[in-house]
Amino acid sequence: MKLTEIPVANFIGGLWQASLSRETFETVDPATEEILAKVPRSDSRDVDAAVKAAHLAFYGEWRELTPAERGRLLYRLAQAIQSYRAELAELETLDNGKPLREALDDFDGVTRTIEYNAGAADKLQGDTIPLGMEVIDFTILEPLGVTAHIVPWNFPLGIAIRSVALALAAGCTVVLKPAEETPLTALRLASIIQEVGFPNGVFNVVTGFGEEAGAALVRHPLVRGVTFTGSAETGRKIMAQAAESLKPLVLELGGKNALIVFEDANLERAVNDAMEAVFGNCGQVCSAASRLLLHTSIYSEFMDRFCERVSQLKIAPGMENGDLGPLVSKEQLERAMNYIRIGQEEGAKLVLGGTRPTHLKRGYFFLPTIFAEVSPFMRIAQEEIFAPVVAVFSFETEVEALQKANEVPYGLTAGVYTQDIRRALTFAQRLETGSVWINGWYLGGVQAPTGGVKASGFGRERGLPGIHNYLQIKNVAIKL
Ligand code: NAI
Ligand code: MG
């Protein structure tokens, strides 16, 4: 499909619609700074139409389908996504900037997520509760109703599907608001969902800005649940908006994740994994390693190997499939540059990078950056930068490593590299994060729940716990 054929309208109740105000906004290619398309700038009236369409669909044909039929539709969607994988990946690369290879991986993940939830749709069941001979008591798992999904730009369709597929498997209907930076694959998804044969109104997309369309969606009284991935700052606002009508929330709010390397680690593997953990998706990953904690005895050797590898990374437009594409937007580029200034003012040592590459005149490109001699209470050690920037620390003892790993506001992921089983499991118990990885990074799959503690949010996505975000328990008691 050519770019000019991508639908650039809201998808509401099975129809493509301009915003009622007729206003639009531009989405740009971060590699060239050129405009890719103009999409609707939706306001509360467009959101209201989408939520009402989803509400109507929930009480219509959708609720009458059996769970197996819902699963079958999802399975067909997974197959359609695989068949459009190359086209979808190109579109994601143009809109987000990531190397095409990474976008293709994203769509394999999207397919797997839908397949898993297709299979789960008819396996969601309640309990019977023994209350003695005079009463029969059982639970029914019911879908919440209309759910709102507000997603960021780093994995535009990956993160959208990570909650949308679960809500659909549970029997909810959906209104998705993609990030303003990357609306295109969500719109293309809508056309695929239509083609696959989902009833009208089950899945709706409205494009627009967070404060306008996003806030109206969270506040809408007919929305029964909200899932949000993005910044902690916006998460706080969404929680306050949702409080007005007491909606349940799933919040995934980023991290400041530590990759910890002990003296007995397989250093080759640790360096190799760190490359992906720090610089994958240009560092714009909530579960990226943005802090490296290195034992003093291997510090020099690790850093020599790591810096050597980092200096060889190829920075290029996503379509040229280098190692790093551009950052997603001018705002994110400015944010990264601001943190470089802060880190230098705080006295950290800039070992590599810290600027834009000189060979690329246009686009929001930024060099892979390493700060060493970072101390734990510097801002670059505490705050999420969301760029290819890593802060490196050294430690002497297990106690010191644990303390440094935990003393940040966030708690999403952590990784420990060691051959000592006692040490690995001690860290698994004591790290304050939603996920702990041992001798690897980005371990786990669509079956394994992920999410945060502390400022990284609450609620778990993926796996069966993820689907239960979209179900409520009804208890039925019968007196005999
Ligand atoms: P953001 O959290 O403001 O935006 C994410 C989504 O929330 C977008 O769809 C946006 O339209 C929506 N939104 C914004 N304000 C809203 C509001 N008041 N009500 C409802 N929806 C709203 O993130 P932004 O500004 O794009 O990036 C800033 C920083 O956030 C990044 O540098 C990074 O640190 C963090 N971030 C974390 C992500 C993660 O995966 N956890 C993803 C994207 C950003
Ligand atoms: Mg924002």
What pLDDT, in 10s, does the model give residues 74-120?
999 999 999 999 999 999 999 999 999 999 999 999 999 999 999 99
Residue 411 has what pLDDT? Answer: 98
**What are the respective helix, strand and coil percentages of the chain, to the nearest 5?**
45, 25, 35
Distance 180 CA to ligand 2 centre (A): 9
DSSP string, 245-285: TT--EEEE----EEEEE-TTS-HHHHHHHHHHHHHGGGG--
Distance from residue 408's CA to the centre of ligand 2 (Å): 22
Element (H, E) at 330: helix 330-346
For residue 176, the ligand closest to its alpha carbon is: 1
> Residue 4 pLDDT more than 90?
no
pLDDT digits (tens, 9 = 90+) for 210-266: 999 999 999 999 999 999 999 999 999 999 999 999 999 999 999 999 999 999 999
pLDDT beyond 80 at 2: no
Provide the pLDDT for residue 366: 98
Mean per-residue pLDDT over the chain, rounded: 97
Structure confidence at residue 1 (pLDDT): 63
For the CA of 412, the closest atom of ligand 1 is 41
Q: How far is CA 307 from CA 20, 326, 348, 380, in A?
A: 53, 20, 16, 19
pLDDT band at residue 6 using 50, 70 and 90 as cut-offs: confident
Residues 17-54: tens digit of each pLDDT: 999 999 999 999 999 999 999 999 999 999 999 999 99
Residue among 47, 150, 285 to mutate when testing ligand 1 (max atoms within 8 A of CB): 150
Q: Closest residue (by CA) to atom 37 of ligand 1? A: 230
Q: Measured from the CB, is residue 40 less than 6 Å from ligand 1? A: no
Q: Whose CA is nearest to atom 29 of ligand 1?
A: 231
Do 82 and 45 form a contact (C-beta atoms < 8 A)? no
Among all ligands shown, which has an atom nearest to the Cα of 25? 1
Q: What is the pLDDT of residues 319-334, one digit of tens each?
A: 999 999 999 999 999 9
- Burial of 22 (C-beta count, 10 Å sphere; 0-12/13-18/19+): exposed
Q: Ligand 1, atom 32: nearest CA belongs to which residue?
A: 386
Residue 81's pLDDT is 98
Which residue CA neighbors atom 18 of ligand 1 most closely? 211
Q: How does pLDDT run across 364-385, given as a tens digit for each residue?
A: 999 999 999 999 999 999 999 9
| Cβ(286) – ligand 1 distance below 6 Å | yes
Instruction: Tell me which residue of 195, 113, 201 sits closest to 161, measured CA to CA.
Output: 113
To the nearest whole percent, how much of the chain has pLDDT over 70?
100
The residue to mutate among 231, 338, 342, 450, having the most atoms of ligand 1 within 8 angstroms of its beta carbon, is: 231
Q: Which atom of ligand 1 is nearest to the CA of 159?
A: 40
Nearest CA to ligand 1 atom 35: 231
Distance 164 CA to ligand 2 centre (A): 21
pLDDT of 5 > 90? The answer is no
Residues designated catalytic: 252, 286
In this predicted model, what pLDDT tens digit does every residue of 239-249 receive, in sequence order? 999 999 999 99
Looking only at Cα atoms, what is the longest distance across the chain?
80
**Is the distance from the beta carbon of residue 154 to the nearest atom of ligand 1 less than 6 Å?**
yes
Q: What's the pLDDT at 242?
A: 98
